[in-house]
A = this chain, B = another copy of it.
């Protein structure tokens, strides 16, 4: 591996300065194994006695599990105890995060355990460049870190990535796109060596590698006449193929499958259901401790816009809820947090509450497909905090209902990792939330600022830019939860009618009188009925439905008065003027960081903020003009609408 590969690459949240507090101390590391060796290498020199920091694997897994650790400080010694090596690794990075605070005063015993057993990032990377999507589908940070020109990259970058992820608590990644095309399909067979190489590089960081596979692989790769999951030949092919995978990668994580969705093959093609589909893979993986992640993102993308009875929001529940209890224990149903598709604002997917006898993973999108594509500063921590803390059932929030947290990565071969340097905070926050969903998003942001930009930057300015940036983005884009209104295909920038007459099932039904999608049981698609109480009643009710989701659930006249006291049309105007104005303020605030950050990073952020200001004005003008042309209602404040 070449170090050139990392020349000029921003160290993100692991710059040398982050280790200063540890480097100044005598450190003892006790334990054996790859992950302990990783800790030892991070520490540099270790001592056997008189240590001020003791990192110890006890070998008694017990209540701490494989990944937990205890931290305390007593008599001038900071101690991390872990039952197993993975816990020691996470404990070590916790000390890095604490910095000097880890070495001051006394500290009672704190127990740290991950809330989610699997904390996973999915890469939508293609082995070959796709002529339409580029190499990384919905990637905004350059090319893949795994493949270049159709072949495996130098893996120095992947190793550095693994280290960054370990420091946030992530313990699994899927390295290829869920839309598995020809070259990528072969990663399962004759290109398996490339997967093994990545696994080898990530193993020292406690990260297991998973692979997206094509449901039709038995046909594509195996030459079988069918991929029917109940066919004995197919079962045998998956079993044998999987056995070979584990021969090469003993700690292989498992498979990820997008089936019967947006053109991908799946069990429906053979008259089977999705439990049949998932279980054939689960059975192949079970002997080796692997899992299959089965995506619930299944809907009819050949919908007729004329047919208002079909509702894409209903699809996942309609398909999967009846299958509750039919999935194997090592099958995990991977559910996007909202019923549509990673929109800036959506209600929580009712599927998350609908399958108590199924392992459900909640999927977020760190890559900013619908939230500014890493050209707009949009810190997603507050959104994820709302999602994870949402009390979907009377006794459980989303974090409590989910067994795992998964997200689409925002990383590419960009030298700041994430295109927009400030988007690093989203990647960092994902790992931290997956470990502990109850964390405060602004405290997480503080951690990232400290580590990535240093403790001396203008923290207040950064908070002023980022704290509300998600709500700011929401304010100048699609209003009141209506979703989409983006340019078809690439999904960047406004196009109010862009999807309105397409087969994709994402409509707003704006006419001269009103706007929104009636998803009530009383008069609409009945989607509200998929929710447990009280939400089924709250969303059904025009009076009780929260403003920010009003147009997701109801079609209302432009004059409808919101809880805020504003009409829908005036709300659209007001938020769009305010949101665009706010981006100008964000750009101004960044000036305060001048000289405090690396000049390269400064230049990149400025360029992105300029684009955000331009784009927000475009959103403002298009959305306002569209609705003014339709409604004919002038802005109360007489501002310019074209």
Which A residues contact B (CB, under 8 angstroms)?
A: 131-132, 305-306, 494-498, 501, 510-513, 618, 621-622, 625-626, 628-632, 642
Report Cα–Cα, A519/B6, bound state, in Å.
58
Is chain A's interface secondary structure helix, strand, loop, or mixed overall?
Answer: loop
Which of chain B's residues have a CB closer than 8 A to the CB of A512? 512, 629-632
Which of chain B's residues have a CB closer than 8 A to the CB of A498? 495, 497-498
Which of chain B's residues have a CB closer than 8 A to the CB of A618? 501
Least distance between A321 CB and chain B CB atoms (Å)? 30
Least distance between A30 CB and chain B CB atoms (Å)? 56
**A511–B305 CB distance below 8 A:** no
Q: Which one of B497, B511, B513, B632 lies within 8 Å of A497 (CB-CB)?
A: B497
Q: Which one of B132, B494, B501, B631 lies within 8 Å of A501 (CB-CB)?
A: B494
Answer whether A305 and B642 are a contact pair too, CB < 8 Å, given A501-B622, A512-B512, A625-B501. Answer: yes
Report Cα–Cα, A287/B471, bound state, in Å.
68
Which of chain B's residues have a CB closer than 8 A to the CB of A501? 494-495, 618, 621-622, 625-626
For A629, the closest partner residue in chain B by CB is B511
Report Cα–Cα, A306/B131, bound state, in Å.
33
A and B contact pairs by CB, cutoff 8 A, 24 listed? A131-B131, A131-B132, A305-B642, A306-B621, A306-B625, A495-B497, A495-B498, A496-B497, A497-B497, A497-B498, A497-B626, A498-B498, A501-B618, A501-B621, A501-B622, A501-B625, A501-B626, A511-B628, A511-B629, A512-B629, A512-B632, A513-B632, A629-B630, A630-B630
Answer whether A642 and B306 are a contact pair too, CB < 8 Å, given A513-B632, A630-B630, A632-B511. Answer: yes
The count of identical subunits is: 2
Report Cα–Cα, A626/B501, bound state, in Å.
9
Report Cα–Cα, A630/B131, bound state, in Å.
37
Least distance between A308 CB and chain B CB atoms (Å)? 8
Query: Which 3 pairs of residues, A with B, have the shortest CB-CB distance?
Result: A511-B629, A131-B131, A306-B642
For A509, the closest partner residue in chain B by CB is B629
**B305–A629 CB distance below 8 A:** no
Q: Given contact pairs A306-B621, A511-B630, A513-B632, enumerate 4 new A-B contacts (beta carbons under 8 Å).
A: A497-B626, A510-B629, A512-B630, A630-B630
Which of chain B's residues have a CB closer than 8 A to the CB of A632? 511-513
Report Cα–Cα, A323/B306, bound state, in Å.
52
For A618, the closest partner residue in chain B by CB is B501
Least distance between A499 CB and chain B CB atoms (Å)? 10
For A497, the closest partner residue in chain B by CB is B497
With a 10 A CB-CB cut-off, give which of A132, A510, A642 has the most chain B CB atoms.
A642
Report Cα–Cα, A621/B622, bound state, in Å.
24
Least distance between A484 CB and chain B CB atoms (Å)? 14
Which of chain B's residues have a CB closer than 8 A to the CB of A630? 511-512, 629-630
Report Cα–Cα, A132/B498, bound state, in Å.
19
For A132, the closest partner residue in chain B by CB is B131
Which of chain B's residues have a CB closer than 8 A to the CB of A132? 131
Least distance between A595 CB and chain B CB atoms (Å)? 35
Report Cα–Cα, A132/B134, bound state, in Å.
11
Least distance between A486 CB and chain B CB atoms (Å)? 12
Report Cα–Cα, A513/B632, bound state, in Å.
8
Report Cα–Cα, A495/B489, bound state, in Å.
14
Which of chain B's residues have a CB closer than 8 A to the CB of A631? 512
For A308, the closest partner residue in chain B by CB is B642
For A493, the closest partner residue in chain B by CB is B501
Report Cα–Cα, A498/B494, bound state, in Å.
11
For A641, the closest partner residue in chain B by CB is B306
Which of chain B's residues have a CB closer than 8 A to the CB of A496? 497
For A487, the closest partner residue in chain B by CB is B488
For A622, the closest partner residue in chain B by CB is B501
Least distance between A310 CB and chain B CB atoms (Å)? 13
Which of chain B's residues have a CB closer than 8 A to the CB of A305? 642
Report Cα–Cα, A501/B496, bound state, in Å.
10
For A625, the closest partner residue in chain B by CB is B501
Report Cα–Cα, A345/B542, bound state, in Å.
47
With a 10 A CB-CB cut-off, give which of A305, A494, A511, A631 has the most chain B CB atoms.
A511
Which of chain B's residues have a CB closer than 8 A to the CB of A642? 305-306
Report Cα–Cα, A511/B627, bound state, in Å.
9
Report Cα–Cα, A354/B305, bound state, in Å.
47
For A307, the closest partner residue in chain B by CB is B642
For A617, the closest partner residue in chain B by CB is B306
Report Cα–Cα, A409/B511, bound state, in Å.
41
Report Cα–Cα, A210/B131, bound state, in Å.
31
For A623, the closest partner residue in chain B by CB is B501
Report Cα–Cα, A627/B497, bound state, in Å.
13
Least distance between A24 CB and chain B CB atoms (Å)? 54
Report Cα–Cα, A131/B131, bound state, in Å.
6
Report Cα–Cα, A428/B305, bound state, in Å.
40
For A130, the closest partner residue in chain B by CB is B131
Report Cα–Cα, A110/B498, bound state, in Å.
58
Least distance between A569 CB and chain B CB atoms (Å)? 12
Report Cα–Cα, A629/B495, bound state, in Å.
17
